[in-house]
Amino acid sequence: MALLTYRDALNAALREEMALDDRVFLMGEEVAEYDGAYKVSRGLLKEFGPLRVVDTPIAELGFAGIGVGAAMVGLRPVIEFMTWNFALLAIDQVVNSAAKMRYMSGGQVGCPIVFRGPGGAALQLAAQHSQSFESWYAHIPGLKVLTPGTPADAKGLLKSAIRDDDPVVFIEGEMLYNVKGEVPEGEHLVPIGKAEVKRAGSDVTLVCHSKTVTVALKAAEQLAEEGISAEVVDLRTIRPLDTETVLNSVGRTHRCVVVEEGWAFAGVGAQIVDVVQLHAFDELDAPVLRVTGADVPMPYNKHLERAAKADPAKVIAAVKRVLYTGI
């Protein structure tokens, strides 16, 4: 095992896949000369040259479209958005071109492309730069949506995404780039569409993804001090969704709390609740509860921002409600 930051794990995945397959190239704002806004592409320009690590103007719709066209003719582009908030300008290419190309061509034209960049809230970046869009893209047939929450999953899922023959939306946790974790050395692939139990437990299931994996694990640690055993299920992939792992966990614990950064209405957690009530209703000893971001644009004020985010205290309160100890 190697101890890597989330950032360096992503960098390693890009480097390995570009070395393995000369069809893979990286394109986006400041990915080359500046080594990426978050330094994920550090050293790649020097190693692979300007034809495979390509700086672009501030024109998300334009370079996303170039990527889609390149994928249609057999290349494997990795398109970096400086943040998924800026990708709103390119959403037509993601949703109406990349996601639909295989279907509209009757299977004749694929689109093996990865759209990647940071999502979710950071610190005091306010309303326009703190949004979680995974539920938006997960709504679209034809897209795969990945949200790694650890360095090991970041590396393994990005490598799998680059090798996948369909378009992948790869949303990195903006607050995770400096987080360190053990990453297997050598070839490391994480299967798309497979959740993972990050912590075993028996009293309640905490379903999470991306940055909320850390939130759920911290809550589980604090709950353990009170004698409450929480199982933490990291979705890792939002679409295709691994319902089996979630349902198996709920079948063991009989209680469920879903934790996510995004807004509650039509969010990822709503889909989890639907799956659980449809397939595991008789297993439940309490209603499924959700811990989400507040239903407001993200405030700039740091105290209000903290109040708007999902945190361990809110998760613990929800767990005690489903256990009927904190009503």
Q: Kindly list the catalytic residues.
A: 60, 129
Nearest to 233 by CA among 249, 221, 244, 222: 249
Q: Tell me the C-alpha distance between 69 and 317, whole Å.
A: 49
For 85-112, letters b (16+ CB in 10 Å) and e give: bbbbebbebbbebbbbbbeeeeeeeebb
Q: In this structure, what token pair is assigned to residue 30?
A: 């400041």
Burial class (CB in 10 A: 0-12, 13-18, 19+), 164: middle
Burial class (CB in 10 A: 0-12, 13-18, 19+), 185: exposed
- DSSP summary character for residue 232: E
Helix residue ranges per DSSP H, 145-284: 151-163, 212-224, 243-253, 268-279
Instruction: Collapse the DSSP code of 120 into the 3-class scheme (helix H, G, I; strand E, B; otherwise coil) and give the result.
Output: coil
Q: In this structure, what token pair is assigned to residue 196?
A: 């993972």
Q: Tell me the C-alpha distance between 101 and 60, whole Å.
A: 19
CA angle 221, 224, 227 (to 5 degrees): 170
Residues 6+ apart with CB under 8 A from 120: 130, 131, 132, 171, 173, 174, 175, 210, 211, 261, 262
